[in-house]
Amino acid sequence: MQGIPVSLLSLVAGIVITVFSLWVGHHHNLLPIQASQQAPLVDNFFNVMFSIAIAFFLVVEGIILLFAIQFRHRPGDDTDGPHIEGSVPLEIFWTAVPSVIVIGLGIYSVAVFRDMGGLESPGHPMMSHNHSSGSAIAATISDTQGMESQVGTATAAPKIGIGANPQEENNQADLVVNVTGMQFAWLYEYPNLDFGAGELHVPVGADVQLNLSATDVIHSFWVPQFRLKQDAIPGIPTQLRFIATKPGTYPVVCTELCGSYHGAMRSKVVVHTPEDFNNWVEENRLAQNPELKQTVAVNTVMSKSEFLAPYASDMGISQESLVISH
């Protein structure tokens, strides 16, 4: 390699490092699954930062390793190394390159924050796009009285937090949920559906607005699969808007140190299909109806034969006959 020009070696090394860094930056599998419409925005930004970090790591560590080998101490060589004063072009280069990268990432991050709804035009409430999937849950949240209540709630919503992007800020949410953080639990109230829950349940594809508040200290509402996080602050209402894209059950984590049991302040968000969400709403309306004189079981998962199976021997019949009669 003695006869190869340094400039050519540098060019080849730069190409190899760039290609390798871009590949690793987009195939690292370090992040959980994407389960919201906002998640790809955050992941793309992370991939860019990770690719740059990999490139810098390879360059810096590669040069250290190369110099450690090239300029190692040889036996019998007790001379001093060459005296080097410095290089103005090199100083400018390694100051300019990180500056350009940092400024570029800063602009990119602002664009991502804006697209996620973190920035809004003055005088406009954070509103969100009414997606077509909202019609699928019309049976439970789009009646006339509910719509009037929902419009009022969304219009008065706070402007602190993650809302709708600027192109959709004047549209209403499909579902509004009031979320209260306290030591050490999350409570969920559905003001337009007239019941509360200990878990957050939402339909897939619907635009959901969370109105966050706290009763004691600062908490932080975080769903890793949604790539969304927002503080719940005592006395200062905040907002979090998202559109879930993948049915499933995902953890809700408090990421603000809020006391001795902070680590146990966990909850979950269940993303349903629109049909399953309608069923869940009706079940909770029935179970939490104060006018009911009796409590009834709904949507039981046991068949008659499964329910009677433990009593088959007492009745003098076999379990097989239960299955046949059922």
Does residue 50 have a pLDDT over 50? yes
Q: Is residue 325 part of a domain?
A: yes
Question: Does residue 187 lie within any of the structural domains?
Answer: yes
The domain tally of the chain equals 3
pLDDT digits (tens, 9 = 90+) for 16-42: 999 999 999 998 989 999 999 999 999
141 shares its domain with 282: yes
Query: Is this structure's pTM higher than 0.75?
Result: no
Do 138 and 262 lie in one domain? The reply is yes
Distance separating alpha carbons of residues 138 and 144, to the nearest angstrom = 10
**Whether residues 319 and 221 fall in one domain:** no
The least confident of 124-138, 150-164, 227-241, 280-294 is 124-138
Distances in Å between the Cα of 236 and the Cα atoms of 26, 160, 183, 242, 267 are: 38, 9, 17, 20, 22
pLDDT averaged over every residue in the chain: 80
Nearest residue to 163 via CA among 216, 220, 237: 237
Same domain for 148 and 57: no
**298's tokens:** 């709904």
Clarify whether residues 35 and 144 are in a common domain: no
46 and 160 in one domain? no
Question: What residues form DSSP beta bridges with 234?
Answer: 214
Under a CB-based contact definition with an 8 Å cutoff, are residues 237 and 176 in contact?
no
Compute the average pLDDT of residues 51-77. Answer: 90
Q: Indicate if 145 and 17 belong to the same structural domain.
A: no
For residue 77, tell me if it sits in a domain. Answer: no
Residues 136 and 279 in one domain: yes
Confidence of residue 218 (pLDDT cuts 50, 70, 90): very high
Q: Name the range with the highest mean pLDDT among 78-92, 108-122, 156-170, 206-220.
A: 206-220
Quote the CA–CA distance of 40 and 116 in Å, as a whole number. 10
35 close to 244: Cβ distance less than 8 angstroms: yes
- Where is pLDDT greater, at 290 or 199? 199
- Mean local confidence (pLDDT), 67-84: 85
Q: How far apart are CA 242 and CA 180, in angstroms?
A: 17
- In this structure, are 139 and 276 located in the same domain? yes
Domain of residue 191 covers 132-287
* 181 part of a folded domain: yes
Q: Do 204 and 179 belong together in one domain?
A: yes
138 and 56 in a common domain: no
Range in 101-110, 146-155, 188-197, 290-299 the model is least confident about: 146-155
177 and 282 both lie in a single domain: yes
